[in-house]
Amino acid sequence: MNKILLIGNLTRDPESNTTSSGVNFTRFNVAVNRPFANSSGERVADYFDVICWRQLADRCAKYLYKGSKVGINGSVQRRQYEDRDGIKRTSFDVVADEVEFLTPKTDGARQAQDNVPSDLHPVDNDDLPF
């Protein structure tokens, strides 16, 4: 069984692209804090490269940004390639089946709340005519 569950924060904005056959994909990197400190007392994080496909890729590209907290359910996939110097390399990617957005919808919603005039006061439901 090949399953992975992660909760972490994006280290940079997602990058979207399209394959030569027209399939959308989005890549991003997630930092996941370890549940313990190292011998120096510092908290350590592990970093995972994540790839999403099709509609999930579109949603991630649209709504995620650096610092977004996400929950990811997916699998690990090994990828082999040659670097610029012709050396064979291996990397591991998390292929996301599901991405749960754990950051509040938008910071704009918080800004809208901050712009509420100060002369407004809460209304008691008993005072409403309906």
- Residue 3 and residue 75 in contact, taking contact as beta carbons nearer than 8 Å: yes
Residue ranges with strand state E in 12-65: 15-18, 24-37, 43-53
- Residue 52 and residue 62 in contact, taking contact as beta carbons nearer than 8 Å: no
* Residue-wise pLDDT tens digits, 67-103: 999 999 999 999 999 999 999 999 999 999 999 999 8
Give this prediction's pTM.
0.74
Q: Which residues contact 99 (CB under 8 A, 6 or more apart)?
A: 50, 52, 56, 59, 60, 64, 70, 71, 72, 73
pLDDT for 125 equals 66
* Residue-wise pLDDT tens digits, 32-51: 999 888 889 888 999 999 99
pLDDT for 111 equals 45
> Is the four-CA dihedral 102, 106, 110, 67 of positive or negative sign?
positive
